[in-house]
Amino acid sequence: MEASNQSSVTEFVLLGLSAHPKLEKTFFVLILSMYLVILLGNGVLILVTVSDSHLHTPMYFFLGNLSFLDICYTTSSVPLVLDGFLTPRKTIPFSACAIQMFLSFAMGATECVLLGMMAFDRYMAICNPLRYPVVMRKAVYVSMAASSWLAGGANSLVQISLAVQLPFCGDNVINHFTCEILAVLKLACADISINVVSMGVANVIFLGVPVLFILVSYIFILTTILRIPSVEGRKKAFSTCSAHLTVVVIFYGTILFMYGKPKSKDPLGADKQELADKLISLFYGLLTPMLNPIIYSLRNKDVKAAVKNLVVQKHSTQ
């Protein structure tokens, strides 16, 4: 088709659960409940890490960043999803779609880098405790967190800039709840090989490299812990990194489950497969942010103590 005959897309239609209207109200309540838990849990973690002086350390500074990141990540998409469950025709302007893609992509990439930074913090604390206060001084750990945000934002800017330069014409229906970048790229009426290569390189940098870094860090951490003579000492050392390790396993384990599961070859089950893929992708974006504050609250004595102090102070002022 010639360019002169193409009509440029100015808005997209989000398919969501349009084919399954009976499910929309159920999922609206479920997603809203999970979102409120995310806001409350991560909000409390941010509050205690800022207000409690005992938590003014690199580990809890990174944790506060992770909680803020999870709030931003879910807020970039969940309100759009909830609105889609209530709106008969779910449309989103091209510009708003680009902004939503940028925010979601940036937060996802930032979390990958930040989890790697947190692994380095645990490595220094356990494997080099004498050098830890010198290496992980405030200027260093603030710079590490800032570089995570900058790297994630820069990567997202590159990917979304490449995406919005593509011509979109004809079909404008996105088979997803949000402007998921892969679903959007399928609608481009041009060659997307540059986009695919660029995203492949980004996945290696922002998924592969942090995973490798975390793996190597924990090999050294576990080796050091096993050398501690006392059982109590080993238990105490492992408790300082068990929460982070649990979050890493859930975060990357969910990604592997999403993209590593086999596709159905039954053409009759294609619709069910697409629905399952969309729902898994949706809940992936909610599962880790919801579990993070729960994991850190249950597996960390300092956080539990800080939360209790916060509750006691609130009751004493009433």
pLDDT digits (tens, 9 = 90+) for 236-245: 888 888 888 8
* Within-domain flag for 314: no
Pairing of strands 173-174, 91-93: unpaired
Per-residue pLDDT for 268 more than 50?
no
* Within-domain flag for 197: yes
Tokens 């540059």 sit at which residue? 194
Per-residue pLDDT for 66 more than 60?
yes
CATH at residue 225:
1.20.1070.10
* Within-domain flag for 184: yes
pLDDT for the residue numbered 2: 39
**12 phi/psi in degrees, rounded to 5:** -115, 155
Average pLDDT over residues 295-316: 71
- Lowest mean pLDDT of 66-80, 86-100, 148-162, 201-215, name the range: 86-100
Q: Cα 34 vs. chain centroid, distance in angstroms?
A: 15
Per-residue pLDDT for 272 more than 80?
no
Report CA-CA distances (Å) from 160 to 28, 102, 115: 28, 6, 23
* Within-domain flag for 310: no
**How many domains would you assign to the chain?**
1
Per-residue pLDDT for 270 more than 70?
no
Domain range holding 187?
A: 11-256+276-305
Per-residue pLDDT for 262 more than 60?
no
Which one has a higher pLDDT value, 84 or 315? 84
The whole-model pTM stands at 0.87
* Residue 247 near residue 291 (C-beta atoms within 8 A): yes
* Within-domain flag for 100: yes
* Within-domain flag for 315: no
pLDDT for the residue numbered 4: 38
Average pLDDT over residues 248-263: 72
* Within-domain flag for 269: no
